[in-house]
Amino acid sequence: MKVGIVGLPSCGKSTLFNALTRGKAETGRFGSGRAEVNRGRTLVPDDRLAWLASHYHPKKTSPASVDFLDVPGITPGSSEKGSAGLIADLRTVEALLHVVRVFDDAATPHPDGSVDPVRDAGNLETELIFADLMVVEKRLERIQSDLKKGLDKRALGAEQELLLRVQAALEEGMPVRRLGLNDEEAHALRGYALLTLKPMILIGNVGEDEPLGGTGDAKLRAWAEEAGMGYLPVAAQIEAEIAQMSDEEARAFLEDLGLTEPSRDRVIRAAFDTLSLISFFTFGEDECKAWTLTRNSDAVEAASKIHSDIARGFIRAEIVAFDVFEAGGSWNAAKESGKHRLEGKEYVVQDGDCVIFRFNV
Ligand SMILES: Nc1nc2c(ncn2[C@@H]2O[C@H](COP(=O)(O)OP(=O)(O)OP(=O)(O)O)[C@@H](O)[C@H]2O)c(=O)[nH]1
Ligand SMILES: [Mg+2]
């Protein structure tokens, strides 16, 4: 999974990136003129995988991972610089974290002179809408000229009609994700990688005075709810410091605050939820591995994550739900209890399924 971090300048994107990836990207360099992109990978924490590994002692344990992309601040007019640069980078991600500055700190002057989370969130949304509008307008011009040339009228006509609807929404300031497109329409737009069609989670970057794991800014939360987005308050600065601690130190630090996990884990879970992702597991003495799958995928789609041969030669899947596996203490115990299942191609894989694929190539 690939997730992009966006926001206005100096709102704390790189600080959040460091908190999420335990990275050391440079922060606080607004105005340095260097438009550099930071990339990092985070392993997805999963107690279930940890249990499987403690059971099998495999040579290798492979958690799922999330790739984060941190781009420079988007300023009014960023989108006009065209497809080059950061907007183009963002088109490749599956979901966006939109960071909004909530913290107040005289040491970091706000580019607009005052801290106003709702204003900022709206301003960034407007920039993303502009960026999408440019893509849509360009394509509409192209379609028009192709239609004049007498090219494939039916397909082009359908595309034009859809794009005109999208254009009208964007012109009214509505992100495409709120247009209520059906699956087919969303699929038809995939090639344009519209930014406002991507699932988005709002991150309120709250200050040190807000308790970690607190509720964040109420107005910003209401704004997010209104826009149909998830909202998570994160104290990016402190979380970035925690991310640099050893696991032991971090645990003790969080425990003192009455917390069980760093924000990193909450953000990753929110990204999984927003994208409707689930995990299934393969296991054994060689490797225990967590696989990421879109909810409602069938057994063949799950198999194809592992290898196209397994999907092609799929016979059946042997499945034990993780909870049953853990409660019984072993695969064989699950088998004997009758809670072990044989499933065919159409089986819809569930979060936490432990799977052995039977296939023939
Ligand atoms: N007090 C406080 N300062 C913060 C917090 N988060 C970020 N900062 C500071 O704000 C400044 C900007 O943070 P960055 O993480 O570089 O912000 P950015 O969004 O990546 O900035 P650009 O990439 O330049 O747009 C830095 O000096 C950070 O130390 C916070 O939660 N509290
Ligand atoms: Mg930055």
The per-residue pLDDT for range 144-201, each reduced to its tens digit, is 999 988 888 888 889 999 999 999 999 999 999 999 999 999 999 999 999 999 999 9
328 Cα–ligand 1 center, Å = 48
pLDDT, one tens digit per residue, over 252-275 is 999 998 888 899 899 999 989 888
Pairing type for strands 287-294 and 60-62 reads parallel
Question: Is the CB of 105 within 6 Å of ligand 1?
Answer: yes
Q: Residue 105: is its pLDDT beyond 50?
A: yes
Average pLDDT, the chain: 91
Give the global pTM.
0.89
Question: Is the CB of 14 within 6 Å of ligand 1?
Answer: yes
Domain-by-domain residue ranges, the chain? 2-273, 296-359
pLDDT-derived band of residue 33, with 50, 70 and 90 as boundaries? Answer: low
Range name among 40-44, 66-70, 72-76 with the lowest pLDDT average? 72-76
Question: Is the CB of 160 within 6 Å of ligand 1?
Answer: no
Q: Residue 68: is its pLDDT beyond 50?
A: yes
pLDDT-derived band of residue 83, with 50, 70 and 90 as boundaries? Answer: very low
Q: Residue 84: is its pLDDT beyond 50?
A: no
CATH class entry, domain 296-359 = alpha beta
Neighbouring CB atoms inside 10 A of 81's CB total 13
Ligand 1, atom nearest to 205 Cα: 31
Tokens of 18: 């460091």
335 Cα–ligand 2 center, Å = 52
- Protein residue with its CA nearest to atom 23 in ligand 1: 72
Architecture (CATH level 2) of domain 2-273:
3-Layer(aba) Sandwich (3.40)
Task: Kindly tell me the sign of the dihedral angle through the C-alpha atoms of 306, 276, 1, 195.
Answer: positive
Range name among 18-22, 85-89, 264-268 with the lowest pLDDT average? 85-89
pLDDT-derived band of residue 130, with 50, 70 and 90 as boundaries? Answer: very high
pLDDT for 195: 94
pLDDT for 3: 95
pLDDT for 257: 86
- The DSSP element (H or E) to which 291 belongs, if any, is strand 287-294
pLDDT, one tens digit per residue, over 279-313 is 999 999 999 999 999 999 999 999 999 999 999 99
pLDDT-derived band of residue 86, with 50, 70 and 90 as boundaries? Answer: low
DSSP class of residue 310 equals H
Question: Is the CB of 28 within 6 Å of ligand 1?
Answer: yes
* Contact (CB, 8 A) for 351 and 291: no
- The DSSP element (H or E) to which 277 belongs, if any, is strand 277-282
pLDDT, one tens digit per residue, over 318-360 is 999 999 999 999 999 998 988 999 999 999 999 999 999 999 9
* Contact (CB, 8 A) for 137 and 168: no
| Mean per-residue pLDDT, 89-102 | 92
- The closest ligand to the CA of 9 turns out to be 1
pLDDT-derived band of residue 32, with 50, 70 and 90 as boundaries? Answer: low
